[in-house]
Amino acid sequence: MLRPSEIRVGILCATHEVERNSLHVAMAMAGLAEHNVEIKHIRGNRHVALGVLFFAEYTEVDCVLVVTSEPLDVEVRKTLLELQMQWNMPLDYIGPSQEHIRMALESLVEMVQLQSEMAADVPAERVATAKPRKDSVN
């Protein structure tokens, strides 16, 4: 099973309310290694889904956390759920408080560990036919 320090996390900040120090404290509390965390900033919620897609498509992260100060509208949440399913990648979105970020990161770590554990139990004949995460989207 993966240790938290081995998990690669993408953090998409759609708010300027979160301080970089708060992110680092929350990451440390969740057991993440700073060199395995990639943080990107965007302006507001308009491009959250596209930012998550960029993480999935152009990086090797195991999960993505969206930090936003405004609630995501229904269409964006629906798109995020679809992306999560298409890319087989845990995803969460949360407000900018350090405590919420820590809790969300811990939850994402648990999901990545569960995914890793279950993937390790897949019989060899199924692994050979399984597509890598990046090849699973048309």
User: Average of pLDDT values for 38-53?
Assistant: 94
Per-residue pLDDT, 136: 43
Min mean pLDDT across 4-8, 40-44, 48-52, 61-65 is at 40-44
pLDDT in tens, 57-66: 999 999 999 9
Cβ–Cβ under 8 Å, residues 109 and 65: no
CATH fold label, 4-136? Rossmann fold (3.40.50)
Tokens 């019989």 found at: 123
Domain limits of the chain?
A: 4-136
pTM of the model: 0.86
pLDDT at 130 over 80: no
Which residues are CB-neighbours of 57 under 8 A, at least 6 positions away?
Answer: 134
Give residue 18's pLDDT: 80
